[in-house]
Chain A
Amino acid sequence: MAATIASFKVDYFQFLDEEGRLADGAQIPALARDTRQLESLYRLMTLTRVFDKKAVALQRTGKLGTYASCLGHEAAHVAVGSAMREEDCFAPMYREYAAQFFRGVKMSDVLMYWGGDERGNDFSGPKHDFPWCVPIATQCLHAAGAALAYKLHGQPRVAVSVVGDGGSSKGDFLEAINAASAWKLPLVLVIVNNQWAISVPRSKQNSARTLAQKGIAGGLPSVQVDGNDLVASRWAMDKAIAAAREGRGASVVEMLTYRLSDHTTADDARRYREQDEVDTAWNKEPLTRLRNYLTDQGHWDQVKEEELLSESAERVNAAVAEYQDRIDNDPQPIDAMFNYMFKNLPHHLEEQREIARRFPARGGQH
């Protein structure tokens, strides 16, 4: 006997097209008509872009360490952050600044972290949010653990984690899907698919039609959206978070976007990808289309845009000054390296701390 015992489909959603035109139909999310909220989210996307450009410039001029740019991901990241409540838990990878800004993390916190100072991870914003996570996809399991803690405590809180297309190849991501499915966890796993895992393109990572279907394989509702469309990305996040909060379990949201920058400032993407591809991707980037839409709605104009850009530049400059002042005038003491290893410092670390105090690095800290 042969029979089809299960079959699956992956739905794709885009509401604002590349020109900023709203799709037809009754399915359009209410957010599309809420131009005030869209404007406020657009403002954050713009601020993030101005910040990002400045951070790259700081690295180029030796004032910041290696930095991971978020250029092109602004809609996806704002959608994630703005859909969450403060008591929810965010487990980021390392470039979701806009999501974190929405949650109260300061631009100067981001600069502290990439500026080589652990205090960046003691950031403003929710104290239960996880720090930046460099080892790739491990954060998915930390979010799953947080989600299990909330479920066991009967708290209506949701854990949200972001992973890249590259990270979706890792066992951690797949094991998080599996665990979320087994325990029906209040978890949302977001794949921000920017098409490149450093130099390896999406096409060489696997031959699956979508990455969302990895969630389906584990038993989670999963969807793919245009990650450069704020309306679609936010709509998918709202649905997934509501399901998680109401006890209907976890889901996977794949957001299609494009990494317009190098992987980090230590990378040179010209070595492995064609400029044509990048140029094409610029035509789909998220800010322009939202600006066009808001303009068409009579809600935005060139004057407002210029005001926003200058106001954003001022805020970014103030954040840079705060960062610079702190590392120059309030550096961490040598003791800090030892003091946070354990709550109760073991004897051998006391001994080593004494040595470190006696032999500080020549020329002080960098």
Chain B
Amino acid sequence: MAEITLVEGVTLALAHEMEADPTVVVFGEDVGVNGGVFRATAGLQQKFGDDRVLDTPLAEVMIAGMCVGMAAQGMKPVAEAQFEGFMYPMVDHIVNHAARLRHRTRGRMNCPVVFRAPWGGGIHAPEHHSDSNEATWAHFPGVRTVIPSSPSRAYGLLLAAIRDPDPVVFLEPKRIYRWQREEVEDNGEELPLDVCFVLRDGTDVTLVTWGAMVKETMEAAVELEKNGVSAEVIDVATVAPIDMETIVESVEKTGRCVIVHEAPKHCGVGGEIAAGLADKGIWHLKAPIKRVTGYDTVMPLYRSEMNYMPSTERIVHAANETLEFE
């Protein structure tokens, strides 16, 4: 069994499903010979041919629109947007078409397409290459939004996303594309969508996060432990729809919750989780819910981006605030 990175987990899942299902095609800019700017599709065109891995003209609207067309005619396209900041032109096709084709046609048609994109900040990329726009997709009915945070979850969740009969936006935290290696068996076993993963058991405070912030959140849990605080860490993974049950269950136990995300605070997914807790878990809360998020500013250019990104220190601070609340 090979030890692989998160981005290699993506490649492995794509290769597995392309082998298993001839209707799966990879579709995007520079995904073919070049293997994608982050190498997520490296080697796939050589292995499966240029009628399975298609280099497209540079046109995001076209990528999204043609994927809707292909998916409606029995194919399973996996589209790649080169960076999340270039997904905005795709909104029309994702929201007006992919997300509602089943609904609009009373189930006559469906749209099994995956829109992949490297997502989030922290790699010193140029402008428009570092957004955390998961709330954009999470807001719209009819599309799932999935974010893996480890090599095995990248593999298992991407398999599930491709096999799902409905559209999935699959956001890949590029900052941790190569952060850790993990043994991942290429056994074709998918992981469930629509559920959270508890990464660390704890009893004093629940830290809820997803994507690359899993790294800082796990570090914060270790820091807290040094002071005798036992933190539970939950990776939400599917940010739409949210598995509130797992989060509420955890808060029933800990009574405290800190939500961590890189995206701006206002109307972020963290707000929805906090509202869900207020609705279903308020009697278990011993302290106000805290959110540690990116600021409601434009993502700064790279010299300042680490001032924007939530740090381990901010997470520990927020957790301590909930612990000190009387």
B-contacting residues of A (Cβ < 8 Å)? 89, 91, 118-119, 121-122, 127-128, 130-131, 135, 138, 140-150, 152, 159, 171-172, 175-176, 178-179, 182, 336, 340-343, 346-349
Contacts and interface: CB of A to CB of B under 8 A. Distances in A.
Given A130-B72, A340-B103, A179 B241 contact: no
A178 B93 CA distance: 18
A122 B66 contact: no
A124 to B, nearest CB: 11
Contact of A148 (B66, B141, B245): B66
Given A149-B74, A172-B65, A138 B97 contact: yes
Interface residues of B, number: 46
A300 to B, nearest CB: 38
B102 interface: yes
User: Considering the complex of A and B, which 9 residue pairs feature the smallest CB-CB distances, nearest first?
Assistant: A145-B69, A141-B65, A145-B66, A175-B62, A142-B69, A346-B241, A122-B106, A149-B73, A145-B70
A99 to B, nearest CB: 18
Given A122-B107, A141-B93, A145-B68, A182 B75 contact: no
A52 to B, nearest CB: 23
Nearest to B245: A347
Contact of B142 (A143, A336, A342): A342
Contacts of B165: 343
A172 B61 contact: yes
Contacts, number: 134
Given A141-B62, A149-B73, A179-B62, 5 more contacts: A131-B101, A142-B68, A171-B61, A175-B59, A342-B142
Contacts of B46: none
Nearest to B103: A340
Contacts of B102: 340-343
B106 A118 contact: yes
Nearest to A127: B108
B96 A145 contact: no
B75 A149 contact: yes
A121 B166 contact: no
A343 B110 contact: yes
A135 to B, nearest CB: 5
A148 B62 CA distance: 12
